[in-house]
Amino acid sequence: MFRGFVSEAIGGFMPYRLHSTLVKSAILSLFVGTSVVAGCGCGGSNSGDGGLILQGADVGADTTTLTDRDTADAAPSGGADASSTPVALGVWVAVSASSSHTCGLRAAGSVECWDSAGNQLFPSPPEGPFASVSAGNQYTCGLKIDKTITCWGSDVKGLAEPPAGAFVSVSAGDIHACAVKTDGTIVCWGDNADGESTPPAGIFVSVSAGGQSENDHTCGLKSDGTISCWGVNLNGQATPPAGTFDSVSVGGATTCGVRTDQTIACWGMNIEGQATPPTGTFASVSVGDYHACGVRTDGTVACWGSSIEIEGQPAGTFLSVSAGGGGTCGVKTGGTIACWPGSAIAPASGWSFVSAGLYSACGVKLDGTVVCWGTEANTPPTGTFISVSEGTVGDNIFTCGLKTDKTIACWGYNRDGEATPPGGTFSSVSVGSDAISVFGYACGVKTDGTVACWGYNGDGEATPPAGAFVSVSAGSGQVCGVQIGGTVACWGTNTSGEATPPTGTFSSVSAGAGFTCGVKTDGTIACWGINILGESTPPPGTFASISAGHADCPCGVKTDGTIVCWGNTGGITTTPITGTFSSISVVGNMTGCGVGTDSSVVCWGSGETAPPL
């Protein structure tokens, strides 16, 4: 089997067998947002430690697509091919565990690291975006999407000083690290007392640096599928068997690889049974100090070796697994991270979307479930969702959400049918009320691009025009949508010009109370309609998104992730809360909620409370 093709995604050599379709179908069935190309198996500090290859020129954009050009041994094979579907910004896509700490990679390209108690490590990882991350002993290395390598933490023996150049993967071992360059050669740095940092010549598709207690060695997968190892060989850990492989993972003094027939072979130290893998077919393997774990082709995880290090293994299906010095962490198919045994703590589950109302708010968690909170919050239905929109009609609340099967579910107040959506498949949904917040309605963009509305229609707000749309926003009596081509069309109430959009092309639009704002394709904001308090006079600068809210204080997320508000802010442009955000939802009067770039939800202002943990 030919194994050495050049990947256009990262410009380097990758194994032929990809084992990626379950990764895509599992992640993509649950999430929307910035998407990725699922990548190399995420073994621990002692493995090949891949991650994601983020594609698209603008990684910070709301969406891009996941393609079929995946990197090697990322996750179990099987499942439907779900390419071209978006995936959430904050979802975990890779994890790397070592004896000292664990690091995770989110789909947006950010890296977070924590210790065994779940505490965030300082200093924090550098800014990305990253394509992969590998945790070593007291240090970490990451491959950025520009193909350069950055390392941080302990700089003993120059561990935090990677070489310059363009790379396709990196692996951080105990006291040395290695990386595959875009030309397929390997370069190593750090300790070299036993030749572990002196790789042989040849073309490689991946590398795994390991070692523990003076057992440092390295193995690489060559372009012909064979494995070559170098460094300490006291236990035979650097003497690989013959045959062709899809991946290799180096542990303390043990090495394992997934053969091209998807079985696992291990060699080296076996005092805890870590070199005696189970039978069956596997998509990836990761070796720790005295145990190893693999993701089977059905997505389940099997671990072997030290009983102390493998106890508490959770059920469910996984995209990848990483065996560290005393435990294991894995990325589950829902995009969350699970760690075991019980002493290993995974980071808290984050959020992908939030919508704030006058008396309550609802958010979509990274596992697709909806949580609502506040004084008047309604209980959401079960199931998994992509987005949610919270509406207020007088003292009543109704909510609509787009489910992962692309149908719409609504709940709460339903006097005019606002919580009774039509059938069919949709790409987005937005709820609104009439101009004096007495009647409710909602609109959604169907998958064929047409708009459907339901609920109150006293001013034509539920009678959309013909044509194809990419998004829609329901306000207080008016509805505006971005059409194919970028122009904006509005309908419904127009007493202050809120439904008379300017010319030009837009990337998004948000309808408020008597005014509307949109982000133009050049990143600037244009607003139209009532302007008594300056709500239709946006500040200069470039923005990623806008939320007009239900009153007279719109806010926008700038391209640097910060929030700026204007209008009823005392006549000044104001930042209501510090930090960087991927999206916001404002009510007005300096009140709202936002999803941070770390996938946390933060709320501010009168009546808004933080979401439950």
pLDDT tens for residues 345-389? 666 667 889 999 887 899 998 778 899 988 778 899 998 899 999
For residues 611 and 411, which has the higher predicted lDDT (pLDDT)? 411
Sign of the Cα pseudo-torsion (580, 161, 257, 275, in order)? negative
Domain at 5-340: CATH architecture: 7 Propeller (2.130)
* pLDDT grade for 190, boundaries at 50, 70 and 90: very high
For residues 523 and 510, what is the distance between their CA atoms, to the nearest angstrom?
14
pLDDT at 280: 97
Distance between CA atoms of 472 and 467, rounded to whole angstroms? 12
Average pLDDT score over residue span 424-448: 91
**CATH classification of 351-604, choosing from 2.130.10.30, 3.40.50.280, 1.10.10.10, 3.40.50.2300?**
2.130.10.30
pLDDT at 348: 61
Question: Cα–chain-centroid distance for residue 571?
Answer: 37
Q: Where are the domains of the chain?
A: 5-340, 351-604
DSSP state of 108: T
Output the CA torsion sign for 11, 7, 70, 281.
Answer: negative
Residue pLDDT, tens place only, 138-189: 999 999 999 999 999 999 999 999 999 999 999 999 999 999 999 999 999 9
Q: What is the pLDDT of residue 564?
A: 92
- pLDDT for 33 beyond 70: no
Per-residue model confidence (pLDDT) at position 201? 96
Res 44: pLDDT: 35
Cα separation, 510 vs 602, in Å, equals 20
Instruction: State the pLDDT at residue 503.
Output: 96
Structure confidence by residue, pLDDT tens digits, 388-406: 999 888 888 999 999 999 9
Which residue, 522, 520, 41, is CA-closest to 320?
41
CA distance 588 to 586: 6
- Look up tokens 């935090």; give the residue: 160
d(CA 326, CA 10): 33
Q: Residue 606: its pLDDT value, please?
A: 64
Average per-residue pLDDT for the chain: 82
Cα–Cα distance list, 588 to 146, 386, 499 (Å): 40, 24, 20
List all residues 6 or more positions away from 570 whose beta carbon is below 8 Å from its beta carbon: none
Q: Which pLDDT band, with edges at 50, 70 and 90, does 574 fall under?
A: confident
Half-sphere exposure of 144 (CA within 13 A, CB side): 14
Mean pLDDT of 112-116: 84
What pLDDT is stored for residue 318 in this prediction?
95
* Strand-strand pairing, 592-596 and 581-586: antiparallel
Q: How far is CA 408 from the centre of its chain?
A: 23
Whole-angstrom distance, CA of residue 170 vs CA of residue 187: 10
Element at 379 (helix H, strand E): none
Confidence at residue 608, expressed as pLDDT on a 0 to 100 scale: 55
**Are the C-beta atoms of 133 and 139 separated by less than 8 Å?**
no
Read off the pLDDT of each residue in 184-213 and give the average, rounded to a whole number.
95
Write down the pLDDT at residue 229. Answer: 98
Statement: residue 613 has pLDDT above 60: no
pLDDT confidence of residue 10: 27
| pTM of the full structure | 0.61
CATH topology agreement for domains 5-340 and 351-604:
yes
The Cα angle at residue 299 between residues 293 and 300, in degrees rounded to 5: 55
* Residue type for position 232: V
User: For residue 474, what are its two tokens?
Assistant: 């329901």
Long-range Cβ pairs for the range 364-369 (8 Å, 24+): 364/388, 364/401, 366/31, 366/88, 366/90, 366/91, 366/92, 366/334, 366/335, 366/336, 366/599, 367/30, 367/334, 367/335, 367/336, 368/30, 368/31, 368/334, 368/404
Q: Which residue, 560, 557, 556, 554, is CA-closest to 529?
A: 554
Task: Using a pLDDT cut of 70, give the percent of the chain over it.
Answer: 81
Rg (CA), the chain: 26
pLDDT at 103: 93
Average pLDDT, integer, range 321-337: 89
Q: In this model, does residue 128 exceed pLDDT 90? A: no
Say how far apart CA 437 and CA 386 lie, in whole Å: 26
Q: Please, which residues bridge with residue 122 across strands?
A: none
Token representation of residue 559: 């391209």
pLDDT single digits (tens) 221-271: 999 999 999 999 999 999 999 999 999 999 999 999 999 999 999 999 999
Residue 305 forms beta bridges with which residues? 291
Q: Given its phi and psi angles, is residue 260 left (phi above 0), alpha (psi -120 to 50 degrees) or beta?
A: alpha
The per-residue pLDDT for 282 is: 98
Q: Are 127 and 108 in contact (CB under 8 A)?
A: no
Number of helical (H) and strand (E) elements in the chain, helices listed first: 2, 46
